[in-house]
């Protein structure tokens, strides 16, 4: 039986689930509203986390869930959407984020009091509204909810994957005495030539995205086009899957276009896994 339990919010196709499962934790609740992403999530996790689906704890819209009904857990995880924070920076605490999806995270932490949280978002969250949004998030998590707060801009390439993908990782513990040591960077496990099966002029690939698909290779919006053996070629879902650190056995019960969109919305699994192991290590030390 797993020592630690976690919940997977804004789950997408399950990058956090996969990373924490590999780290030895059990997912007891997950939330994802997108129907296509739910199909992919269930196709890949019903086998490894059967209780999650048997107990009907894979839900849709988290805003409609009564927070007290969520099963008890130790670690909250989630890559929450960054919606505009209209009142950010005005010292209004929870009122700053009411109406945004971060409020649901804060409310769950307030009600369930987990041992730790691990949140992920786009890099620009740190500078949004001249940094006021981020300060509101930090203040709510620390001053209002009483958790420690560690944060860092992390690239997928820092953790072995050939993709830039800068993201802000935020970690905190209910016990402020718990010390969190950021995982060390690692060398690339493989490069873009390995991914594409031919000579590519860059070791580290572009950040997978949702928009701009099939833009000209020299266009600033291009993220899925590469010169391979001297000829232009587009990424396939199989190749994008590898860039994100998912196993080759990962299944997509959706078309290729939907699969690429889901991968663009996902997390770099190996980066999240390195942090998952470190969070659990910190909890075990305490």
In three state form, how does the secondary structure of 141-194 look?
HHHHCCCCCEEEEECHHHECCCECCCEEEEEEECCCCCCCCCCCCECCCCCHHH
Amino acid 129: pLDDT: 75
Judged by DSSP in three states, 14 sits in coil
Amino acid 100: pLDDT: 80
- E strands, 25-139, are 26-31, 58-59, 75-78, 116-122
Entry pTM: 0.92
How far is it, in rounded angstroms, from Cα 209 to Cα 96? 29
- How many folded domains does the chain comprise? 2
The tokens of 165 are what? 């993908």
Residue 104 domain-assigned? Answer: yes
User: Domain range for residue 152?
Assistant: 5-186+264-285
pLDDT tens-place string over residues 3-49:
999 999 999 999 999 999 999 999 999 999 999 999 999 999 999 99
How far is it, in rounded angstroms, from Cα 180 to Cα 234? 40
Active site residues: 82
Cβ neighbours for 83, distance < 8 A, ≥ 6 positions apart:
100, 101, 102
Q: Look at 23 and 220; give whichever has higher pLDDT.
A: 23
pLDDT at position 256 over 60: yes
Q: What is the mean pLDDT of residues 169-196?
A: 97
The tokens of 14 are what? 């399950």
Q: Domain with 104 in it: what CATH number?
A: 3.40.50.150
Confidence of residue 97 (pLDDT cuts 50, 70, 90): low
Q: CA gyration radius for the chain?
A: 19
Q: Give the residue from 28, 23, 22, 33 showing the smallest Cα distance to 8.
A: 28
Amino acid 212: pLDDT: 64
Same domain, 52 and 106: yes
Same domain, 231 and 139: no
Structure-derived torsion over alpha carbons of residues 206, 207, 210, 214, reported in degrees to the nearest 10: 0
Same domain, 214 and 129: no
pLDDT at position 86 over 50: no
| Strand arrangement of the beta sheet that strand 26-31 belongs to | 58-59, 26-31, 5-9, 75-78, 116-122, 167-173, 150-154
| 234 touches 214 (CB < 8 A) | yes
Q: Give the residue from 35, 46, 38 showing the smallest Cα distance to 13.
A: 38
> Can you name the residues that pair with 6 across neighbouring β-strands?
27, 75
pLDDT > 70: what percent of the chain? 92
Same domain, 232 and 154: no
H or E element that contains 19: helix 15-22
Same domain, 130 and 217: no
Residue 259 domain-assigned? Answer: no
């Amino acid at each position: 039986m797993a020592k630690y339990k976690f919940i997977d919010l804004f789950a997408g196709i399950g990058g956090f689930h996969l990373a924490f499962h590999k780290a030895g934790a059990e997912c007891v609740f997950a939330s994802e509203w997108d129907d296509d992403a739910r199909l992919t999530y269930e196709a890949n996790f019903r086998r490894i986390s059967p209780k999650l689906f048997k107990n009907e704890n894979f839900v849709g819209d988290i805003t409609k869930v009564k927070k007290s009904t969520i099963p008890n857990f130790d670690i909250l995880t989630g890559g929450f959407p960054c919606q505009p924070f209209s009142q950010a920076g005005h010292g209004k605490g929870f009122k700053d984020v009411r109406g945004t999806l971060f409020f649901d995270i804060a409310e769950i932490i307030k009600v369930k009091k987990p041992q730790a949280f691990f949140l992920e978002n786009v890099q620009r969250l740190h500078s949004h509204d001249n940094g006021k949004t981020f300060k509101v998030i930090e203040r709510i998590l620390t001053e209002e909810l009483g958790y420690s707060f560690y944060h860092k801009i992390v690239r997928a390439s820092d953790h072995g994957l050939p993709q830039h993908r800068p993201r802000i990782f935020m970690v905190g513990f209910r016990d402020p005495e718990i010390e969190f040591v950021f995982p060390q960077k690692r060398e690339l496990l493989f490069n873009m030539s390995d991914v594409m099966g031919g000579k590519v002029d860059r070791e580290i690939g572009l950040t997978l995205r949702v928009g701009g698909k099939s833009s000209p290779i020299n266009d600033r919006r291009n993220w899925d086009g590469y010169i391979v053996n001297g000829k232009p070629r587009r990424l396939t879902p199989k190749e994008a899957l590898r860039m994100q650190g998912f196993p080759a056995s990962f299944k997509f019960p959706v078309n290729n276009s939907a699969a690429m969109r889901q991968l663009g919305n996902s997390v770099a699994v190996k980066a999240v896994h390195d942090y998952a192991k470190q969070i659990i290590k910190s909890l075990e030390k305490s």
